[in-house]
Amino acid sequence: MRLVRDGTPASPGIVIGPAYVLRWEIPRVPHGNVPAKEVEREIERFHQAREWAKRRIREIQRQTAQRLGSVEAKIFDPQILMLDDVDLIDGTVAYIRENHLSAARGFELRMLEFESEWRRAGHPMVMDRLNDLMDVELRVVRRLLGLPDPDLDLRGNGEKVILVARDLTPTLTVQLDRRAVLGIATDAGTRTSHSAILARALNLPAVVSLGDFSEQVRTGELMILDGRTGRVIAGPAEQEQAVYRERDVKVREWEQELLLLAHLDSVTPDRQPVTLRANIDLPTEADSARVHGAQGIGLFRTEFLVVGRSSMPEEEEQYRAYRQVAEVFPHHAVFIRTFDLGGDKFPLFLHMPPEENPFLGWRAIRVSLDLTDLFRTQLRAVLRASAHGDVRIMLPLINEVDEVRRTRKLLEEEEERLRAQGIAFNPGYKLGVMIETPAAVLIAPELAKYADFFSLGTNDLVQYTLAVDRGNARLARLYTPFHPSVVQLLHQTAEAGRAAGIEVSVCGELAANPLGVFLLLGLGITALSVGPASLTEVKKIIRSVPATDAREAVAEALQASTPAEVTAMLARGISRWLDLSLFSGRWNLSPVD
């Protein structure tokens, strides 16, 4: 029976082959208590299993470094840190000692508590780490129960297969035999999970978040997996197979062309230069951004330093992270966004009570200015990193001039302390603001008097302008950056920046959308920042589309009254220069109803 599922594209590529459904799970731990005299022995067994798991993960890490590289190998650092986490260790020991539980049962209960806390946090960065939590639990529990690791020998009769599973952990993923596996399809997972990152490093096409797909498909059943669009088809017709084979050839030719663009100039055919930077979440991603041709970092999200942690990060740890990125781009700007906490992401050490409307509550710059110890530590670390490159400070969710003034005062005080201590920093650093609300757009001319640059965060700007939760699937049709009101706000911000003589850049998803790039070029915004994987695609658009054509199309779109009209005008203009079908898997480029 034919079955079509659309999930999240996690690793590009089109493959056709038989399914292999891998059934694995964290084993159930028998309930029950141990005699009091055996409690200390169970505690020792837990420590032995924990140390064994660390040794095993380090060995997998070493093999990964040899096979894929040192950057990919760092993916396993969080697992090693988890196994040394004081809260995890002490909580497990307390369960064993106080309740006379077996080592396996005590560890299982503590891991359930960790999982519950992380799921409540809800932030994508924390949810991605659930994969690592599962990996650690799988390894330690199986060791304590005397069970072997899951069998990953998929060679069978020698035919390559598409691996289908409920989910995969990082250590399972990296141990897959590339000679036996064509691609990966999982019910759960995200594009930014460590398993997905490893799939891309292994050049294994992958689609995640497919619901209950692993329960619907059978081993041996023929499948098509399109890791670029996120579609899987079980039991495809011969005609479908032919279509996807043809598409695979076309996409490969397109990707080969993109590879050649990485280090070519980012300039339009009519010689309009466009600064193309990268968005990153982790310091290690800076190298990938440079390889893909980034001209610096337009958005360095710093929440990785705090989300999911039970204590504030020290200044030295932050300084090393910021310096690492600055040194990758010694001749280009690195925009470091201060902690964008709140909404759906709070570190565990804040113990925040729930809010009815967290995205309209205590978040971003509001949190930082209230928690000055946390903010001062970060500002000092960024100032110190500025001695190693063109490091710029970017403030999220600014709504008032006073928020910038207060931040400048804190910076001035920290500068004085650094001078007194003889610690180097660049006194000519730049401080700018993210424009993410209609309020910020309306006071942009005034903000420009206090800011050295503007960066448009289009994801939140669309959400706050249209009163549409961007994570609500039911409202997805209404969440569009091509709504006339959003286009007008983008236009006003660009005009305010030009009048003040400061750079206006865009670091939201709009900067990676083909129609969005065309729109932004037409608005005269010539500094864009996107994920490393999108850099060459965006550069292809820039090098293909004359800026004059974009300006003409956008002048017309600014008069439109509906999102459908805006989209149609932009699509008509860009289609003269590009085949939009090559982008249609990632972006909805059809007019909005």
Residue 354 has pLDDT above 80, yes or no: no
Residue 439 has pLDDT above 90, yes or no: yes
How far, in Å, CA of 470 to CA of 465, rounded? 11
Per DSSP, helices labelled H in 422-457 are 438-442, 444-447
The set of residues, in sequence order, having a beta carbon less than 8 Å from that of 468 and lying 6+ positions away, is: 462, 475, 478, 479
The set of residues, in sequence order, having a beta carbon less than 8 Å from that of 583 and lying 6+ positions away, is: 514, 537, 589
Structure tokens at 209: 């978040």
Angle of helix 315-328 versus helix 372-385 axis, rounded to 10: 40
The pLDDT value given to residue 470: 65
* 554, 302 Cβ separation under 8 angstroms: no
How far, in Å, CA of 331 to CA of 297, rounded? 11
The pLDDT value given to residue 261: 81
180 burial level (CB within 10 Å; 0-12, 13-18, 19+): middle
The pLDDT value given to residue 419: 97
Mean pLDDT computed over 122-128: 55
**Residue whose tokens read 């690793």:** 11
- Secondary structure letter of residue 345 according to DSSP: B
- 265-582: CATH topology is TIM Barrel (3.20.20)
CA distances from 226 to 9, 212, 234, 537 (A): 8, 18, 12, 18
CA dihedral sign of residues 7, 9, 11, 14: positive
Higher-pLDDT residue of 421, 537: 421
- 3-24+150-237: CATH topology is Glucose Oxidase; domain 1 (3.50.30)
Q: What is the CATH number of domain 36-144?
A: 1.10.274.10
The set of residues, in sequence order, having a beta carbon less than 8 Å from that of 25 and lying 6+ positions away, is: 166
Q: pLDDT band at 353, cuts 50/70/90?
A: low
Express each pLDDT in 34-91 by its tens digit. Answer: 899 999 999 999 999 999 999 999 998 898 888 777 767 777 888 888 898 888 899 9
Express each pLDDT in 166-216 by its tens digit. Answer: 888 888 888 888 788 999 999 988 777 777 878 887 888 999 989 899 999
The pLDDT value given to residue 117: 76
How far, in Å, CA of 185 to CA of 326, rounded? 37
Percent of the chain with pLDDT over 70: 90
Lowest mean pLDDT across 145-149, 293-297, 356-360: 356-360
Residues of the chain with CATH 3.20.20.60: 265-582
The pLDDT value given to residue 584: 43
Rg, the chain, Cα only: 25
Residues 357-388 as b/e (b if ≥16 CB within 10 A, e otherwise) read ebbeebbbbbbbeeeeebbbbbbbbbbbbbbb
Per DSSP, helices labelled H in 68-217 are 70-73, 77-83, 86-99, 103-121, 124-128, 130-144, 170-174, 194-201, 213-216
The pLDDT value given to residue 259: 76
147 strand-pairing partners = none
Instruction: Give a three-class secondary structure readout of 377-400.
Output: HHHHHHHHHHHHCEEEEEECCCCC
The set of residues, in sequence order, having a beta carbon less than 8 Å from that of 2 and lying 6+ positions away, is: 233, 234, 235, 236, 237
Residues of the chain with CATH 3.50.30.10: 3-24+150-237
Structure tokens at 160: 């390559």
- pTM > 0.75: yes or no: no
CA dihedral sign of residues 86, 89, 90, 91: positive
Residue 428 has pLDDT above 50, yes or no: yes
How far, in Å, CA of 151 to CA of 155, rounded? 11
The pLDDT value given to residue 207: 93
The pLDDT value given to residue 591: 41
CA distances from 34 to 43, 89, 93, 349 (A): 11, 19, 14, 34
The pLDDT value given to residue 325: 96
Structure tokens at 548: 């004059």
Concatenate the DSSP letters of all residues of 232-256 into one string.
Answer: EEES--HHHHHHHHHHHHHHHHHHH
Residue 116 has pLDDT above 60, yes or no: yes
Positions annotated as catalytic residues are 194, 507
Residues of the chain with CATH 1.10.274.10: 36-144
How far, in Å, CA of 566 to CA of 553, rounded? 9
The set of residues, in sequence order, having a beta carbon less than 8 Å from that of 213 and lying 6+ positions away, is: 3, 5, 7, 164, 185, 187, 232
Higher-pLDDT residue of 353, 580: 580
Residue 590 has pLDDT above 80, yes or no: no
